[in-house]
Amino acid sequence: MNHVTSETFDENARAALADSQLRGALRKVTSLFGQRRLAAARSLDNWEDLRSQARAIKDDVLLHLDSYLEQFVANAESRGAQFHWAQDAAEANAIICELASKRGARMIVKSKSMTTEETHLNKALEAADIQVVETDLGEYIIQLAEETPSHIIAPAIHKTKYQIAELFTQELGMPPTDDIAKLTSTARFTLRDRFAAADIGISGVNFGIAETGTILIVENEGNIRLTTSLPRVHIAVMGIEKVIPRFADADIFLKLLPRSGTGQRLTTYQSFITGTKTSPESEGPEELHVVMLDNGRSRMLAHPVTRQSLACIRCGACLNVCPVYQQIGGHAYGSVYPGPIGAVITPQLMGLEKTQQLPYASSLCGACREVCPVKIDIPRLLLHLRSEITENGSHAKKRASERAAFKLWRITMTKPWLYKLSARVGRIFQGALVRNGKIGKVKGIGRVATPLTAWTSNRDLRPIERQSFREVWHASLRKN
Amino acid sequence: MQTATNSGAREAILKSIRSHLALSRNLDAREEEIKPRTEMVLGLVSTALTEATSIVDLFKTSLEAVDGRCLIVHDDSELLHAITEIMRNLRQTKLSSLRVAVSDSSEVRRLVGLIELDLDEVAVTPSAADVFNFDIGISGAQAGIAETGTLLLDSSRERHRLVSLVPPVHIAILDAAKIVATLGEALSLMRKGEQVSPIVTLVTGPSRTADIELTLAIGVHGPQELYVVIRS
């Protein structure tokens, strides 16, 4: 499988549009999760209040991120957690590889973590000759298939049960079946051996509670509980933006996150982990290491518009309602973060140079903003990034003609006499450009090269009518 | 055990946070969206609670909605009868043996000791290496949440972390008096005093996944069946 990148978004999207199996799966996941989210939100009569409160908490955290982080770290350290700070992906991976090799770890079990997907931790561990096994069912499937997640909540949604059965037959020697229960139990039994043998468990973090130094992780399968309780060492990888101030704040986020993600009232398991065990005979890991990852996050604090990207709680609701994601799925975005939130986070994490097309992968319809449990104004962010590309990107020079065109447009539109004149002139000269009732498109031989191609290649431009509305109006007045 | 380079990274990140926040300060002044933090409404009651007749019934309804089983008993003998029936049925259907792992709760151990059924093995908090060999885990629970059918397991008060997780069947014994209405109330229970226990787990129904074609499969990594026996 080719690992596509964000640089080739347009090509990726075209390939996805031609994949009917993928589009069928996308219809299913986005409509099901979308409906469930709506029903779950309606089951609470204070949904809008919850959203506002969650956003207010996140704004408060982000405006004082340094002090909340220090509070979180101090409280967790006082309970036995050890902290490691990573400015970028390479530092995070190096820290984890060193922790692993110092403990002679040969096998690591891992629960689903977007942050470690972002840093490509698995590749780094494998390069250090350490076996790493994904244990979330969807992540396990795509690890076996050597692919990448296509949806934040359902990573393997692009694969059919037949493809998964074939994969399990090949990789695990399982007899062929199309029974999903059997596939699931095969994964259960295969992974149990890995859990039992693992030296280290690696997890992500949903929320870090500053007041108590608690790590909160949510899930449905139980693999996070196994990952964080069986191996001797637990390493949690956490983006620096994941802090919330107070223990009681978890109430609000635990109401919003599962309802927005899968439409559940509560996911099956929430693990609240505060430091290490207090006595040798109690259950659980002896060591808890928390890796705090920046990797471009602190940069987003520099502007109120970009800062709100850090409020994201990774629920995936914006993917499900996005008309673009619904058609092309997650892989086309070429990043661990797909959909509307990916279109704004990926360019900020990886730099606009390599991700120029992503902020344009939106019709700006605003559905993402409507469903976001923390009210991130994604359309505004997209426009902000688009203007950054136009002002500073390598395309800035090429856009000089665009700028000139819009300037001309503005002058024309604000002077009635000029508008009338140009409509008349346009009517005379447009004949050379009109094909099939549209400007700039010709069937069979592609597009007519016009100065307007940049505009018309993705949009229909109607020719100027023979008579303007004013002319029709005046003519009808004369008749009567 | 922080290395020199690591504390350097810590300072660099905190410095980067502060300097970028400083850059935004002028812009923030103009943002109307930044509002002062509103006070939270705690103890939010969902619509389900007002419709239910009792908190125990609401717990049962909520748990059954997520494929958990719930039995309500009134004394020790009913409780033993209920657990015995659960085990007997399991032995006849999905389990080929009855190896039972129990938590270290003295009450749970006392009750399991009274079960008149031929159990293949009973062990108190087996080790991580052994716990995979057991068919049923039995534990207590420190609280229940009625609006979601959730068990609160506090591992500093009972060693039930693995017993409640690894065996394919988990049976939990919950006192009706420990059931609270909402998640918010349960969270404030977890925070009596300044300290939070090292591990607190909320459990709502059996383990589940929909990762293959969005088809629900029960019992992927955690228990495939969850029974909550409420003693009222």
HEC secondary structure over A382-444: HHHHHHHHHHHCCCCCCCHHHHHHHHHHHHHHHCHHHHHHHHHHHHHHHHHCEECCEECECCC
Distance from CA of B45 to the nearest CA of A (A): 9
Interface touch A136/B27, C-beta < 8 Å: no
Question: What does the DSSP 8-state code read for residue A317?
Answer: H
Task: Please state, in angstroms and rounded to a whole number, the distance separating the CA atoms of residues B128 and B162.
Answer: 7
What is the rounded CA–CA span in Å between residue A237 and residue A100?
14
CA distances from A93 to A57, A66, A104, A238, A293 (A): 30, 23, 16, 13, 10
Distance, in Å, from the CA atom of A274 to the CA atom of A383, rounded to the nearest integer, reads: 41
Interchain contact, A84 vs B2, CB within 8 Å: yes
Question: How high is the pLDDT of residue A397?
Answer: 61
Structural domain of B105: 47-231
Chain A interface, best mutation among B130, B199, B216, by max A CB count within 10 A:
B199
| Nearest by Cα to A6 from A316, A250, A346, A413 | A346
Distance from the B173 Cα atom to the nearest Cα atom in chain A, whole angstroms? 18
Q: Which DSSP string corresponds to A92-108?
A: HHHHHHHHHHHTT--EE
Which chain B residues are Cβ-neighbours of A185 within 8 angstroms? Answer: 219
The topology (CATH level 3) of A45-298 is Rossmann fold (3.40.50)
Give the best residue of A63, A98, A225, A238 to mutate against chain B (max B CB count within 10 A).
A225
By DSSP bridging, strand A269-273 and strand B225-231 are unpaired
Looking at the domain assignment, is residue B27 inside a domain?
no
Q: What is the pLDDT of residue A443?
A: 46
Q: What is the CATH number of the domain that holds B62?
A: 3.40.50.10420
> Could you give the C-alpha distances from A136 to A187, A292, B182, B220, in angstroms and in order?
10, 22, 29, 9
Out of A50, A52, A270, name the one closest to residue B201 (CB).
A270
CB contact under 8 A, A266 and B17: no
- The answer, for A160 touching chain B at a CB cutoff of 8 Å, is yes
Q: What is the pTM of this model?
A: 0.90
Backbone angles phi, psi at B126, to 5 degrees: -60, 155
CB contact under 8 A, B37 and A57: yes
CB A328 within 8 A of CB A23: no
Is residue B202 included in any domain, yes or no?
yes
Nearest CA in chain B to A32: B214
Q: Is A226's CB within 8 Å of B220's CB?
A: no
| pLDDT for B44 beyond 50 | no
Alpha helices in chain B (DSSP H): 4-30, 47-51, 55-65, 76-92, 106-113, 183-190
Using alpha carbons only, how large is chain A's radius of gyration in Å? Answer: 26
Contact call for residues B204 and B153 (beta carbons, < 8 A): no
Rounded-to-integer distance, Cα A271 and Cα A285, Å = 14
A84 phi and psi angles, rounded to 5 deg: -135, 135
Residue B115 has pLDDT above 90, yes or no: yes
CB contact under 8 A, B183 and A266: yes
Per the domain annotation, does B8 fall within a domain? Answer: no
The answer for B 54-113 residues in CB contact with A (under 8 A) is 62, 66
Mutation pick from B162, B209, B216, B228 vs chain A, by most beta carbons of A within 10 Å, is: B209
Q: Is residue B144 part of a domain?
A: yes
- Residues B102, B139 contacting (CB under 8 angstroms): yes
CB-based contacts of B137: which residues, under 8 Å, 6+ apart? B100, B101, B102, B103, B160, B162, B163, B164, B165, B166, B167, B169, B170, B171, B223
Which of A82, A411, A222, A40 lies closest to B167 in space, CA to CA?
A: A222
Determine contact: A27 vs chain B, CB below 8 A: no
Which residues of chain A are in CATH 3.40.50.10420 domains?
45-298
Nearest CA in chain B to A193: B132
Q: Do the strands B143-145 and B150-154 form a parallel or antiparallel pair, or are they unpaired?
A: antiparallel
Cβ density class A127-151: b for 16+ within 10 Å, e for less = ebebebbbbbbbbbbbbbbebbbbb
What pLDDT does residue B33 have?
53
Question: Taking chain A (480 residues) in consecutive chunks of 10 residues, what is each chunk's mean pLDDT?
Answer: 77 93 93 95 93 96 97 97 98 98 96 96 96 97 94 93 95 92 95 96 98 97 97 97 97 97 96 92 91 97 96 97 96 95 96 92 96 98 93 67 85 92 87 74 50 70 85 86
- Domain total of chain B: 1
Across the interface, do A229 and B199 touch by the CB < 8 Å criterion?
yes
* Bridge partners (DSSP) listed for residue A239: A293
Instruction: Kindly determine whether residue A298 and residue B20, on different chains, have CB atoms separated by under 8 Å.
Output: yes
Model pLDDT, residue B50: 56
Q: What is the DSSP letter of A447?
A: B
CA distances from A37 to A257, A265, A321, A446, B146 (A): 10, 10, 10, 43, 21
- Whether B40 has its CB under 8 Å from any CB of chain A: the answer is yes
Distance (Å, whole) CA A276 – CA A33: 36
ipTM value, please give it: 0.93
Considering only CB atoms, which chain A residues are within 8 Å of B166?
Answer: 226
Q: Is A184's CB within 8 Å of B220's CB? A: yes
Name the DSSP class of A331: G
Residue type, A110: K
